[in-house]
Amino acid sequence: MTPIAVPTMLDIQDHVDLWQPCTTDVVLELRTGRMAKMAGLDIMSGINKKEREGGVFLSFLGLDADEHDPTFHGGVDKAVHAYCASHYPAWRDEFPSAAARFAPGAFGENLVFKHMNERNVCIGDVFAIGDGGAVLQVSLPRQPCFKLNHRFQLKNFAPNTYKLSRTGWYYRCLAEGIVKGGDSVVLKERPRPKWTIERVQEYLHRNVNDHAANEELAGVEELGVEARNAFQERVKKHKAKAEGGKKQGTVWRKYSIVEKKALTPRVTSFILKINTPLADSDELEEGTHATIRLPNGLVRSYSIVSGTKSSFELGIALDEHSRGGSRFLHESTSIGSSIEVSGFSDPMPIASAAAHHLFIVGGIGITAFLPIFETMHAIHFSFSVHWAVRSEADAPFRDRLAPFMHCVVLYDKEKGQRMDVPALLERRPWGTHVYVCGPDRLVDGVQGAVKSVGMEDDDVHYELFKVDASGDPFEVLVKNREGRVVQVECEESLLEALRRVFDGVESSCEVGNCGTCRITVVEGRVEHRGVGLPEGEKEEAMLSCVSRGVGRIVVEI
């Protein structure tokens, strides 16, 4: 395997071959730290570790007086984090604007090593530390998170650590004892000489579709649970895909409404349960939509606020301009009514490397984000929610927000309260990613404010819940389907028209968010709508769920 990068050794006098197995080393520094609030964020972290003098007791759960955010750090597989001092000069050279911040301890490591690094340390290696009886075993590569970006004040810095294999690694403790700076480190066992930390990272992050490597790593018992589970999940998905064979078009499964409850005068909760049990009824990921077909023939996509593939909840507002979807569900269904479901969208992309997450929401748009809020709260992400509603009485799912209401600002139109979007974006913390869901007026306002404050487009995600797909009729020649011609009427989308004629026309959100329904435009003018198509692709593609042709267009599907 070709090395990605070799760390420089500018401040290490005793050079060793970084590509040879390391059997001995020395602990340059021993560091511990208490949990403290990160500067500029309302979250706690144990990343600020100070050098300790003298011996420190090491237990099976880590060093004395060392604290971690338990969501991602600590536990038996992550008792101690180690980092190689030789990486710091390289970071300083590559990121001169943050050079002063790259010094031993900056990555929150407990053990600062002189020679040991990701290329000469292997999963399962057993090391004796000093003469205090402590024995450690290499368990995991470190998985970098947004806190590194914030610590070094470098946007999207964290991925560089695994791309260059400079993440550091974790140990589990096999024998408790006393450790200190200056201790010798001696290799006692090397059961997996093939699997260096660098090589594990190759398949964990950079070459994720190598099935043979994924299968082998899924069976490495010495590999910590976090990474081993990731490889096992890949193996599971690969087998499911292989057994599934070729996709046979859209499959509609019958569900029944088992609960229908008014949450506000305009918003109703619907719980749907499948009629024939599924073999796979896993929890749905946050930010997933369900595509449903109503008895009146309309196909709609709605955000799932909780549940599994077998039983899930939707929160749907009655739209006064409804084309038949929300109105039918509110007025023409009851307990026991049958609804067909074709599947579930991929989850909404979350900018996990962002230091802070700002949600700008209007009305029923809250349903797109509810499970995401709950997960972010559980794993101690920094986030804030600004939610504009017609009135407090028209704000559904308030009970779901209660645990983190301190992160939520409610704007009650009935009380004359207005959200100042430009001011929100101007005051955003460093490293903020913005998420937007609401009516067109709110989305348009955010788009204008984003430009006015100079934000990058890729720092904002728009989750539309309604787009007007109607307009003037037009004609479509489908070049790769025997030149068939399809007429698109005023009140139907191109996607709906194509499905009248052809099987297997894919879609997901059906409001222009995701890009699943993207088709190639060979010839003709297009009126683009939605946010799921990058600007650079609009000359050659369109979103068939919302965009419309002008006059006559030629496409391929």
Q: Which residues contact 416 (CB under 8 A, 6 or more apart)?
A: none
Tokens of 542: 């369109």
**Amino acid 15: pLDDT:** 33
Q: Which residues contact 299 (CB under 8 A, 6 or more apart)?
A: 291, 292, 293, 342, 496, 510
Q: Please name the helix (run of DSSP H) or strand (run of DSSP E) that holds residue 520, with its range, or none.
A: strand 518-527
CATH of 253-345, one of 3.40.50.720, 2.40.30.10, 1.10.420.10, 1.20.1250.20: 2.40.30.10
d(CA 513, CA 503): 22
The amino acid occupying position 71 is: T
Tokens of 414: 């009935």
Say if residues 457 and 430 touch (Cβ distance below 8 Å).
Answer: no
Angle (nearest 5°) at CA 75 between 143 and 216 = 55
d(CA 512, CA 498): 16
Classified as helix, coil or strand, 243 is helix
**Amino acid 323: pLDDT:** 67
**Bridging pattern class, strands 80-84 and 169-175:** antiparallel
- Strands laid side by side in the 356-362 sheet: 408-412, 383-389, 356-362, 432-437, 460-462
Tokens of 426: 């101007």
**Amino acid 428: pLDDT:** 94
- Cα–Cα distances in Å, from 425 out to 267, 386, 447? 29, 12, 11
Could you tell me which of 194, 173, 175, 225 has the C-alpha nearest to residue 123?
Answer: 194
pTM of the predicted model as reported, rounded to 2 decimal places: 0.75
**Amino acid 308: pLDDT:** 92
d(CA 532, CA 509): 10
**DSSP assigned state of 470:** -
d(CA 450, CA 224): 42
Classified as helix, coil or strand, 531 is coil
d(CA 408, CA 402): 9
Spacing of C-alpha 91 from chain mean position: 26
d(CA 363, CA 376): 21
CA 542, 547, 550, 551 torsion: positive or negative? positive
Assigned superfamily of 24-234: PK beta-barrel domain-like (2.40.33.20)
**DSSP assigned state of 203:** I
Reduced 3-state DSSP string for 21-87? CCCEEEEEEEEECCCEECCCCCCEECCCCEECCCCEEEECCEECCCCCCCCCCCCHHHCEEEEECCH
Classified as helix, coil or strand, 279 is coil
| 475 exposure class (CB count in 10 Å sphere: 0-12, 13-18, 19+) | middle
d(CA 122, CA 201): 11
**Residues facing residue 62 across a β-bridge:** 59
Helices (H), 245-364: 325-332
d(CA 528, CA 517): 13
**Taking the CA atoms of the chain, what radius of gyration do you get in angstroms?**
27
- Cα–Cα distances in Å, from 464 out to 32, 57, 289, 414? 46, 54, 12, 24
- pLDDT values of the chain reduced to their tens digit, one per residue, 557 residues: 333 333 333 333 333 344 456 789 999 999 999 999 988 888 889 999 999 999 999 999 999 999 988 777 889 999 999 999 999 999 999 999 999 999 999 999 999 999 999 999 999 999 999 999 999 999 999 998 889 999 999 988 999 999 999 999 999 999 999 999 999 999 999 999 999 999 999 999 999 999 999 999 999 999 999 999 999 999 998 887 777 654 455 688 999 999 999 999 999 999 999 999 887 667 788 888 898 988 888 888 899 999 999 999 999 999 877 667 899 999 999 999 999 998 888 888 899 889 999 999 999 999 999 999 999 998 889 999 999 999 999 999 999 999 999 999 999 999 999 999 999 999 999 999 999 999 889 999 999 999 999 998 889 999 876 667 788 999 999 999 999 999 999 888 999 899 899 987 887 767 777 788 899 999 999 999 887 788 889 999 999 999 999 999 999 99
Domain ranges (residues) in the chain: 24-234, 253-345, 356-464, 474-556
d(CA 47, CA 265): 47
Q: Give the count of beta carbons closer than 10 Å to the beta carbon of residue 536.
A: 8
**Amino acid 6: pLDDT:** 31
Number of H helices, E strands in the chain: 12, 29
Tokens of 430: 């460093």
CATH 3.40.50.80 correct for 356-464? yes
d(CA 414, CA 395): 12
Say if residues 437 and 365 touch (Cβ distance below 8 Å).
Answer: yes
- Strands laid side by side in the 484-488 sheet: 484-488, 474-478, 548-556, 518-527, 541-543
CATH 3.10.20.30 correct for 474-556? yes
